[in-house]
Structure 1
Amino acid sequence: MFKKIKIWCIGFLIVPLSCLILGLLFHYQGDWIDFLYVGIGLLLALIYMKINFNHLKRQPQYKTNHKISDKMLKHYQDAGMSDDEIDFFRETLHQAEIEVQALATNMQALPKLKAIDLNQETTRVSQAMFQAIVKEPKRLHLASDFLYRHLPSINELTRKFIEISHHEVKTADTYAVLDKSAEAIDALSQQIKQDYATFVADDLDDLDTEISVAKQQTTPDHKEEN
């Protein structure tokens, strides 16, 4: 809503600004020239608003289609996020959620992929990574490799792996490509585990510190003398 109001305000400002600029460039002459300047200003304003409103229509509609709960809104606000940051975060996580769900489906499509998923816990780790990002939204930038590189890449690889596996006729080259694809999927699964480990590293350090403090508090400084 704010973006629409902003577009309207700028659009209305274009008219007098255009008249002023045209008047300064071509010198004020009065009479019918005034109407010409106003007409040009209105035309520029309409062009500006049409372009920007069309751009808004093409943007993801996650915010309007998925109402945020009061609990999550407070969670984001408590993290110090502005309204624009919340919008961007939710749109990003909406796309990530679609990717994570697609990965979960793909990893169960074929025995080979199921085996990789079982060994590397690809689905479980990607879901855990998603939840970790939701928990700490201000650290979104630390998950950029996972969100924009590794997750889309493994989804594309698994999709192609499934597609090629369903070919009725397979040659030696086909099996070679499938083997290489499986190796790449396995490697990306390991990378996603590393992404998760890196993202929650601070939490693990904090937990380790708390455990150390707890041990110190339960360990006597010296033994009582008999």
Structure 2
Amino acid sequence: MFKKIIIWCTGMLITVVSMPILALCFDIQGDWDSFFWFVLSLLLGLIYVTIRFKRLKRQPHYQKDPHISPQMLKHYQDANMSDDEIDFFRQTMQQAETQIKILANNMQALPKLRAIDLNHDTTKVSQLLFRAIVKEPKRLHNAGDFLYRHLPSINELTSKYIEINHHEVKTADTYLVLDKSAAAIDALSQQIQQDYADFVAEDVADLDTEIAVARHQITPDSKEED
């Protein structure tokens, strides 16, 4: 805001200072040359202000996180995100990134969890969904179930599963709890797969449409050759 005020004042100063000088010349000499310079000075002042405002508008204004890269800042601004939206999105995704790292470690901690991860690509799918959200930040709300329910839940379950599995003495009830926990982790892994499928469904539909259009364009040519 301060920069805008300076730019505006500078432009107006150019115009105001030049106007009386050239107007005086015009009154004294009474020729069209002076009038031309008067109008030109006014236009130059307005052009200066316009150009400076346009350049200032293109400059990034987000200052809440100095560590954000210019590329990512441009990506968010191209998506028409406000500073508050950028800040909220980045905080949310930083938490999600931490959660996914915890998930990756937990899923490799025990053979049973590694088997579930292998069967459902739980860690890989979570990472892919994370990247898909970053690619389309304005659709953050579409990934709410994954970010706020499924990812935290599977981390809590896998952490407890690891803790209980490390008990030196296990009873029948312990094994029953472990079996139920493993089944819940398996179900959540499938749900995370569905979260990813739902999020990229629009992209898949667009690809199907492009393929259909391409086939339609190819078919007439093939018939003509026949």
Q: How does the TM-score come out when normalised to structure 2?
A: 0.70
How far apart, in 2, do the equivalents of 1:184 and 1:162 lie?
A: 14
Partner of 2:204: 204
Partner of 2:124: 124
How many pairs does the alignment contain?
164
How far apart, in 2, do the equivalents of 1:185 and 1:225 lie?
A: 56
Counterpart code for 1:169: V
- Secondary structure (helix, strand or coil) at the match of 2:154 reads helix
Partner of 1:34: none
Partner of 1:219: 219
Cα pair distance change 1:79/1:224, threshold 3 Å: closer
How far apart, in 2, do the equivalents of 1:157 and 1:65 lie?
A: 33
Counterpart code for 2:140: L
Partner of 2:162: 162
CA RMSD of aligned residues (A): 1.7
How far apart, in 2, do the equivalents of 1:93 and 1:196 lie?
A: 16
Q: How does the TM-score come out when normalised to structure 1?
A: 0.70
Cα pair distance change 1:64/1:102, threshold 3 Å: farther
1:1-226 aligned within 5 A: 67-220=67-220, 223-224=223-224
Q: How far off is 1:225 after superposition? A: 8.8
Counterpart code for 2:135: K
Counterpart code for 1:145: D
Q: How far off is 1:222 after superposition? A: 7.5
Cα pair distance change 1:111/1:65, threshold 3 Å: farther
How far apart, in 1, do the equivalents of 2:88 and 2:131 lie?
A: 17
How far apart, in 1, do the equivalents of 2:225 and 2:96 lie?
A: 62
Q: How far off is 1:154 after superposition? A: 0.1
Q: How far off is 1:64 after superposition? A: 6.1
Bigger Rg, which one:
2
Q: How far off is 1:221 after superposition? A: 6.2
Counterpart code for 2:101: Q
Cα pair distance change 1:123/1:222, threshold 3 Å: closer
Cα pair distance change 1:167/1:65, threshold 3 Å: farther
Counterpart code for 1:97: E
How far apart, in 1, do the equivalents of 2:147 and 2:81 lie?
A: 20
> Is the CA contact 2:120–2:190 (under 8 Å) kept in the aligned structure 1?
yes
Indicate the percent of aligned positions where both proteins have the same amino acid: 74
How far apart, in 1, do the equivalents of 2:132 and 2:223 lie?
A: 43
